[in-house]
Structure 1
Amino acid sequence: MSDRPGVHPTERAIERGPLRPIELAAGAVLGGATVGLVTVGALIPFAAALQLVAAVPLAMIAQRYRLRALITATGAAALVSFVAAGLVPAFGIISSATIGGIIGTVKRRRGGLPAVVGLSVLAGLGFAAFAIGTLLVLSRSRTLLFNTIRSTADGLERIAAQQAQLEPLGRGIADAADAAIRWWWALVGGGVIMGIIVTAVFSWFVLGSVLDRLAWLPSQDRLDAPPDDRPIAPLPVRLRGAGFRYPGTSVDALSDIDLTVDVGEFVAVVGHNGSGKSTLTRLLAGRPPTSGSVDRPGAAGLGHLGGTALVLQRPESQTLGVLVADDVVWGLSTELAAAVDIDGLLREVGLDGMGDRETATLSGGQQQRLAVAAALARRPALLIADEATSMIDPDGRRDLVALLAELPKRHRMAVVLVTHHEADAAAADRVVHLAGGRTVEHLPAWPQPVCTIRRRPMGETIMCLRDVRHTYNRGTPWAAPALHGVDLTVRRGEALLVVGGNGSGKSTLAWIMAGLIHPSSGRCEVDGRPIAKQIGRVELAFQHSRLQLQKQTVGTEIADWGGRATGSGAVGRALDAVGLDRALAARSIEELSGGQAKRVVLAAIVASHAPVVVLDEPLAGLDPEGRADVVELLARLRDSGLTLIVISHDVRDMTAVCDRTVHLEAGRILETDPVVDAAAAANLPAHQLDSHVALPEPRPGDPAWRLGNGGHR
């Protein structure tokens, strides 16, 4: 148990027991980085400085996790390094782990330089004993070393004897060599100890400052729960007045939650971003509340056979196998994997016959179905889908909800769907509404974007794509075509909407437009020059905004995008442009909500002064309020004169912003339509066009689909 001040009781409890998933994951990633650095440093001349850099990842493990995590990562890294490059790099791993472990442990315990010296003396004694013991056991090596010392001293003495004034120096060298051979154990041991002390003290100032700069990086798994030795039995689960407050905060994320989930139920939890949905997910998955109680007959068994399974928002983060069939049984023992009916599970989730497909070739909806199949392979009693529908297209979302609704009827289990789409809850047996961390009867009214289509005169052509084709892994057996002969022209000041379902090639097109990948054939030009030679002229806002934010604070992130001349004034103006308070500039990136992260990326793009902006699924993962905010923001950016290219499957949310729609299907552009004001054309109030409130999602061929796509599909 930890005695550190300010440590949450749950965190103290989970410091006991076997390695936790977050420790295993951090050890694998950081240990792998150490192997690469040490191997390069050992094999490339003049790269010895990498040995010190290699201590940084292991020091992070020592600072953030338990000693056993450091030992495990070091052992695995040393073994891999030995197999890949030999004994010297493996010993370098151990040396880096020693120095990194000393600095990281002292930082974790909030000690100072005296503690570093004390630990380095202990480590030095251990290494000195190893060195002396090795020389004692390897007598031939010891004799060879001694003979080398004697031969060198004799040679120097003979050279010095040729000059009378240097003769005393030669005798002194010979006497020193004799003393070194006589007291070799003290010389070797003392040298090793002093070397480690000096290295550790130097590293305290250099490596310690690096760790201080990296302290803002997250290191906790919010799903971590203390060990539960009871048999796995997650249902029925009953929450009575349950609440939760995260360590270091003054406000409860959840308060007074009463909820029961039993076998055979399909329960939907609906709420806006920040309402406490994910925190409720963690309580259901086994994390203890900080107030109230969560009762179940046994352990939650997250990830274990017959326990609780979790399907997350981003399917690619849960896909580990290269082939679909491998991913279904990934992590199961050989015996358990052999008992899984892989073909039957794939058939049940709608992936029949895809066992031999590569997971990288699946669409977003197919990846989510695969995640469900992998969860079912563990025969869970409780399946939790945490925003599993938010990143896929309307058809995929509707089909996934239908699949989840059927599972409790086919298996002895319960399903909890956490979502911000009210329409997703229509098939649920019960709906729980969350707002502000509490259960409510109904969610607050969702605001609608206040923006209209303004027909502006377009300028000359700014971007041109001609016969653009792209194939991933081209020339290999795993080739996966994504685009097939795309022709597209974008004019300056235009707002263009590119629509299509998951797997249609939208994201590939976005990356080519931004110059981040080269098309397999064809060309993409901006102002008549290849975009690949003008990186920065077209900025790309990723679908997952957090992946683009690399700095510690909002202000430094925006300033980095803007370049050296971007001062605090320019940062403030960029925040103003996207409707964020200037005080947010000092906020840590880790504290941003999903909607705020998207706005910060857009503010950074504004600061970069790029004439063209490509937005890949800007509404993905946002609740209706966040969607409305982003739509209004894009309308303001459009009116400021930016050229916008919006890649999305949210057709009706974006019609108020864009001038033209391009339909992409299976990597081909089918047609291009002018966007019409859908609400006016249908003579309907705008709120009735919200696909997540009143109307079902349109399918190709439906009148609503034609309405939202210019009337020609």
Structure 2
Amino acid sequence: MGLLAHRHRFRAQLATTIAGTIVTFVAAGLLAAQNLVGIAVIGGIIGTVKRRRGGLPAVAALSGLAGGVMATLTVGMLLVLSKSRHLLFDNVRNLAGGVESLAARVSALKPAGHWVAASVDTVLHWWWLLVGGGIVAAMLASGVFSWFVLGAVLDRLAWLPGRDNLLDAPDDDRPVAPLPVTLRQVAFRYPDARTEALSGIDLTVDVGEFVAIVGHNGSGKSTLTRILAGRPPTGGTVTRPGSAGLGVRGGTAMVLQRPESQTLGVLVADDVVWGLPTADAAGVDIDGLLAEVGLAGMGGRETATLSGGQQQRLAVAAALARRPTLLIADEATSMIDPEGRRDLVALLADLPRRHPMAVVLVTHHEADAAAADRVVHLSDGRCVDHLPAWPRPARAARHRPMGEDILELRGVAHTYNRGTPWETPALHGIDLTVRRGEALLVVGGNGSGKSTLAWIMAGLTIPSAGSCDLHEFTRTRPVHKRIGAVQLAFQHSRLQLQRQTVGEEIEDWGGHGTAAVGKALDAVGLDRVLAARSVEKLSGGQAKRVVLAALVAGRPQVVVLDEPLAGLDPEGRAGVVELLARLRDSGHTLIVISHDVSDVAAVCDRIVHLRDGRLLENDAAAMEYRPGQDLRGGVR
């Protein structure tokens, strides 16, 4: 609510509040609806004052005014409902009288009983003043408190683009016709940037083509997709016969990197036509589109039960429902397993052969470009003949022995929404033991249960059956009762960074003082000058390292890393693998959950394979890594 008021006019806040209140009242009743109104008022005050560059006095004045209005309405309602008020007051008086009668039986408590009865009479006599004053005081306290908490969040989000979003194209009154699009000497520089994100780009995309744009992180790939989607360049020319029509039927559609950020419908069939006008949605062959993208018969499934690869296929189906002329897949393969990536690339490559459209795939995986009609290599914002080759991680020899068992899972099973019609089994009978100082790799495709296992190991999810125990030096306890002893690094590292600067983030995890922050940064190979940098300005690889630095500062006994290489280019992947070897050799127990076997296996002592929520071999300790061995069944 605060962000809404900070970015939009009052009418948007009002409409959202009314709609939210109605839905909340239907779903949860009157009290919840009243709470939502209070939230909207406080959020609206803080957001509006921040937008108008006001301060605490303005917040206090507006909070007092809002409290006065709410107090007047509440007191007025109680005055109108006089019979209900008198009934309530009589019950309170009777209760006070009963307390006084009981106290009168004991001489020592008799004065206390008289005091209770007299106090209740006074409160009920001046009820309008106490109720109204209490509401005003509560609103003032909430406003002042929220100014410091919510206000800080809004300040931190000030970098987010507003209505002039960098992805959005400006108004174009021409008919929708995005292809063919031709770029001539195109350049683009972001506001306040010292260098250009793109420079001297020449490119033409026409109907029937499958074009791959390959580059490492920071090479300008996403900026180029914004130009193709209709964003004007700051240099050069872009010509097309009509408007780009971003999000418009027959125009340009985008499939983004994180599939869960694009999924809006509760059911798969709903998501395919989400946002389409009713007339257009009625004409969409939902079952046909789902079959085309490999999701046949899944229209009735909940979107929350889909794997990452299935969510990406659903995003493609939703894009095809708009019959786009240009489909842009921006890093759409980076968060899914190798098999799912191959399937998605094959699907995208086949679309221009069956529809009058072009597909542009943006990726940092050279293998994804093998099926493309043309490949554009980007480096530092310019087109190049080829990208530099980065060395693959070599098998890193262990420098210290492993210790005794530290984490033990026995019969672990988990079912989401258990006991409801929507229950979804995720894990079945997992038996696994991890030794102190070991680096264990858990591999498996999207939807195999890897992330659920990670959350159980970190104690953030209690399994539906079985046990996950932490063996400490003197006793054994369930890991969910030792939160913090096992730390989890999320797949999307940026979501785990909550403070303004790198130094503040590390201190918040336990690295108190400049020396401790510097030591944590040293441990992950980052320059100490980064301690003062905003977390918003970190690259993907830097964000992952900062999370690991924060984890190290917290001195956990075990570190669980969920997909640590997801979304990174070859250089970033090699850097993270090197970091994992360093952490292992410093004595940390690592559990790496990933589908990037070929890279991560170089630093791991053992590999276990998870498929459909089951370990392929219950004797997981027998699965040893042998260089050069391919992944078959459960062993690489």
- Deviation of 1:313 (Å): 1.0
* Equivalent position to 1:543, from 475, 479, 491: 491
Gaps of 5+ in 1: 1-29, 31-56, 149-191, 679-702
Higher mean alpha-carbon deviation, 76-85 vs 302-311, is at 76-85
> Structure 1 pair 382/536, CA: closer, same or farther in 2 (3 Å)?
same
Q: Is the Cα–Cα contact under 8 Å of residues 399 and 585 in structure 2 kept in the other structure?
A: no
Aligned to 1:571: 517
* Equivalent position to 1:648, from 570, 577, 594: 594
* In 1: Cα distance, 2:36 partner to 2:586 partner: 54
Gaps of 5+ in 2: 87-131
- Deviation of 1:577 (Å): 0.4
- Deviation of 1:676 (Å): 2.0
- Deviation of 1:230 (Å): 2.3
For 1:64, give the aligned amino acid. R
* In 2: Cα distance, 1:453 partner to 1:542 partner: 27
- Deviation of 1:474 (Å): 1.5
For 1:244, give the aligned amino acid. F
- Deviation of 1:90 (Å): 7.1
The answer to whether structure 1 residue 675 and structure 2 residue 620 are counterparts is no
Aligned to 2:404: 460
TM-score, scaled to structure 2: 0.82
* In 2: Cα distance, 1:204 partner to 1:329 partner: 41
* In 2: Cα distance, 1:504 partner to 1:387 partner: 22
> Structure 1 pair 210/343, CA: closer, same or farther in 2 (3 Å)?
same
SS at match of 2:560: strand
* Equivalent position to 1:441, from 352, 361, 385: 385
* Equivalent position to 1:705, from 610, 615, 631: 631
Q: Is the Cα–Cα contact under 8 Å of residues 277 and 418 in structure 1 kept in the other structure?
A: yes
Q: What are the Cα deviations for residues 647-685 of structure 1, in whole angstroms up to 9, with x where unaligned?
A: 11111112210111111111111134211233xxxxxxx
> Structure 1 pair 412/106, CA: closer, same or farther in 2 (3 Å)?
same
- Deviation of 1:227 (Å): 2.4
- Deviation of 1:335 (Å): 2.2
Q: Is the Cα–Cα contact under 8 Å of residues 103 and 200 in structure 1 kept in the other structure?
A: no
The answer to whether structure 1 residue 267 and structure 2 residue 217 are counterparts is no
Aligned to 2:480: 532
**Equivalenced residues, count:** 574
Q: What are the Cα deviations for residues 389-437 of structure 1, in whole angstroms up to 9, with x where unaligned?
A: 1111111111110110000000000000000001100111111111111
* In 2: Cα distance, 1:504 partner to 1:93 partner: 38
Q: Which structure would you say has the larger Rg?
A: 1
* In 2: Cα distance, 1:505 partner to 1:619 partner: 18
Q: Is the Cα–Cα contact under 8 Å of residues 395 and 627 in structure 2 kept in the other structure?
A: no
> Structure 1 pair 206/333, CA: closer, same or farther in 2 (3 Å)?
same
* In 2: Cα distance, 1:199 partner to 1:458 partner: 57
SS at match of 2:561: strand
SS at match of 2:175: coil
Aligned to 1:308: 252
Aligned to 1:618: 564
For 2:331, give the aligned amino acid. E
* In 2: Cα distance, 1:298 partner to 1:482 partner: 48
- Map 1:63-102; keep pairs closer than 5 Å: 63-80=6-23, 101=44
SS at match of 2:248: coil
- Map 1:272-311; keep pairs closer than 5 Å: 272-311=216-255
SS at match of 1:247: coil
Q: What are the Cα deviations for residues 319-353 of structure 1, in whole angstroms up to 9, with x where unaligned?
A: 22222222212222332222111111111111122
The answer to whether structure 1 residue 639 and structure 2 residue 585 are counterparts is yes
- Deviation of 1:447 (Å): 3.7
SS at match of 1:425: helix
- Deviation of 1:606 (Å): 0.5
Aligned to 1:417: 361
* Equivalent position to 2:152, from 210, 213, 222: 213
Identity of aligned residues (%): 71
* Equivalent position to 2:422, from 478, 485, 491: 478
Higher mean alpha-carbon deviation, 357-366 vs 492-501, is at 357-366
> Structure 1 pair 204/654, CA: closer, same or farther in 2 (3 Å)?
closer
Q: What are the Cα deviations for residues 564-586 of structure 1, in whole angstroms up to 9, with x where unaligned?
A: xx222111110110011111111
For 2:156, give the aligned amino acid. W
> Structure 1 pair 490/265, CA: closer, same or farther in 2 (3 Å)?
same
SS at match of 2:623: strand
> Structure 1 pair 499/246, CA: closer, same or farther in 2 (3 Å)?
same
Q: Is the Cα–Cα contact under 8 Å of residues 116 and 200 in structure 1 kept in the other structure?
A: no
Aligned to 2:128: none
What is the alpha-carbon root mean square deviation over aligned residues?
3.5
* Equivalent position to 2:305, from 346, 361, 372: 361
Q: Is the Cα–Cα contact under 8 Å of residues 557 and 588 in structure 2 kept in the other structure?
A: yes
- Deviation of 1:270 (Å): 0.4
For 1:239, give the aligned amino acid. L
> Structure 1 pair 292/530, CA: closer, same or farther in 2 (3 Å)?
same
For 2:525, give the aligned amino acid. G
* In 2: Cα distance, 1:567 partner to 1:118 partner: 39
Aligned to 1:232: 176
Q: Is the Cα–Cα contact under 8 Å of residues 651 and 708 in structure 1 kept in the other structure?
A: no
TM-score, scaled to structure 1: 0.73
- Deviation of 1:601 (Å): 0.8
* Equivalent position to 1:256, from 191, 200, 208: 200
* In 2: Cα distance, 1:80 partner to 1:355 partner: 26
- Deviation of 1:102 (Å): 5.8
* In 2: Cα distance, 1:511 partner to 1:201 partner: 40
> Structure 1 pair 228/458, CA: closer, same or farther in 2 (3 Å)?
same
* In 1: Cα distance, 2:477 partner to 2:461 partner: 16
* In 2: Cα distance, 1:446 partner to 1:632 partner: 13
For 2:180, give the aligned amino acid. P
SS at match of 1:536: coil
* In 1: Cα distance, 2:488 partner to 2:35 partner: 41
